[in-house]
Amino acid sequence: MGTHHKPGDNELIENCWVIIPAYNEAGIIQSTVAQVRSYFPQVVVVDDGSSDATASLARAAGSSVVSHLVNLGQGAALQTGINFALSRQAEYLVTFDADGQHRVEDILEMLAVLRREQLDIALGSRFIGETENMPPQRYVTLKLAILFTNLCYKLKLTDTHNGLRVMHAEAARRINIRFNGMAHASEILEQIANQKMKYVEMPVKILYTDYSIEKGQRIGGSARILWDLFFGWLTR
Amino acid sequence: MIIQIFITVVLLATLGFFLSHRPARGMFRLAIVTTVLFGVYLAWFPAYATQIAEFFGVGRGTDLITYVWILLSIFVFILIYIKFAEQNRLLTLLVRRLALLDANNDGNDPDKND
């Protein structure tokens, strides 16, 4: 991977924290952290009560680690990571999935646009970009989730459950994730809508590897996302 | 006769447990006591349940009790759900605070071995 960005970008990259929520990702966390750290030195893995070696492997790969004593869910892990990054004076915050489905190069693009256009948050979309090997069931679920979310929050998005986001610290301070489970994805969008944040959706490439597909199904998969969405909507 | 005694004992035991373990507030306490005593009364005089049922336009007393029971269950379910969500929220804040404290104290906290 070449570092072909402009010199002025270095400072930007220094002030940027990449947050990786991880639950039992020992199999892949080291390579994900290494990949991110080839561009971004500031990485925090939020170990969400893993029972495997996720935390120590992440630390060995050069990441900061914040460990939940018990498993709370991805939403809770993200909020913990956001709090941590803000306490370290992050200027830009990135949320990045642990399972290796995102590309670090996409962060650079999103950061550049965010800064150039003075926006609050950039959201990754797999439906603008390329996607490889998406399982059909996942496709249907995601489309339903998108329809539901757009209707509820009056947003116009093409992908509502993408883990890759880049936000400015000001926006991060205004986001408060209360749903610990997967419904946090919609919750963030709800807050973007309610607080009239300036957002942009950008194409990102999702790599549906065997690992990420298997993981995706293990953490509840499609039915779970829809249930969380519905329940989240009921109780909000 | 056996079932009446059984129901009475269970209801009164529940009431006793409730009153001794939960410092319930005035109105709530009154409602619980009234409900339990009313339940005991109905166990001994089921015909009265039928009278009430007829008043509400339900055929039989047993049906009325079933309906009330279902409504109460839903109510209790919602209460428990709210309580549970609240506990979960507190647990999250606690775990998060602890995690951040640990992370800020040092980078070399011992790995979890438990």
Mutation pick from B87, B96, B111 vs chain A, by most beta carbons of A within 10 Å, is B96
Of A59, A70, A80, the CB nearest to B100: A80
Q: Are A84 and B100 a contacting pair at CB < 8 A?
A: yes
The rounded distance, in Å, linking the Cα atoms of A63 and A44 is 6
User: Using 50, 70 and 90 to split pLDDT, how confident is the model at A9?
Assistant: low
In chain A, the percentage of residues whose pLDDT exceeds 70 is 84
Residues 6+ apart with CB under 8 A from A139: none
Cβ–Cβ < 8 Å for B65, B49: yes
Q: Are B104 and A87 a contacting pair at CB < 8 A?
A: yes
Q: Are B89 and A178 a contacting pair at CB < 8 A?
A: yes
The reply to whether B26 touches chain A by the CB within 8 Å rule is no
Of B88, B103, B112, the CB nearest to A84: B103
Structure token digits, residue B112: 């979890």
Q: Are A69 and B96 a contacting pair at CB < 8 A?
A: no
In chain A, the percentage of residues whose pLDDT exceeds 90 is 55
The reply to whether B110 touches chain A by the CB within 8 Å rule is no
Residue A122 has pLDDT above 50, yes or no: yes
The reply to whether B74 touches chain A by the CB within 8 Å rule is no
pLDDT in tens, A61-76: 999 999 999 999 999 9
The rounded distance, in Å, linking the Cα atoms of A20 and A58 is 10
Between the two ends of chain A, the Cα-to-Cα distance in Å is 44
A123 DSSP β-pair partners: A165, A201
Q: Chain B residues with CB inside 8 Å of A56's CB?
A: 111
Low-confidence ranges of chain B (pLDDT < 50): 109, 111-114
Residues 6+ apart with CB under 8 A from A213: A133, A135, A138
Closest by Cα among A140, A137, A157 to A213: A137
DSSP string, B52-106: HHHHHT-S-HHHHHHHHHHHHHHHHHHHHHHHHHHHHHHHHHHHHHHHHHHHHH-
Nearest-by-CA chain B residue for A65: B103
Of B96, B104, B111, the CB nearest to A80: B96
Cβ–Cβ < 8 Å for B96, A76: yes
Structure token digits, residue A75: 């939403």
The reply to whether B87 touches chain A by the CB within 8 Å rule is no
DSSP string, A175-186: ------STTHHH
The rounded distance, in Å, linking the Cα atoms of A177 and A187 is 7
User: Using 50, 70 and 90 to split pLDDT, how confident is the model at A223?
Assistant: low
The reply to whether B96 touches chain A by the CB within 8 Å rule is yes
The rounded distance, in Å, linking the Cα atoms of A184 and A92 is 20
A to B CB pairs, distance under 8 Å: 48
Q: Chain B residues with CB inside 8 Å of A67's CB?
A: 99, 102-103, 109, 112
Mean pLDDT over the full length of chain B = 86
Closest by Cα among A211, A229, A89, A100 to A163: A100
Residue A135 has pLDDT above 90, yes or no: no
User: Using 50, 70 and 90 to split pLDDT, how confident is the model at A234?
Assistant: low
Question: What's the ipTM?
Answer: 0.81
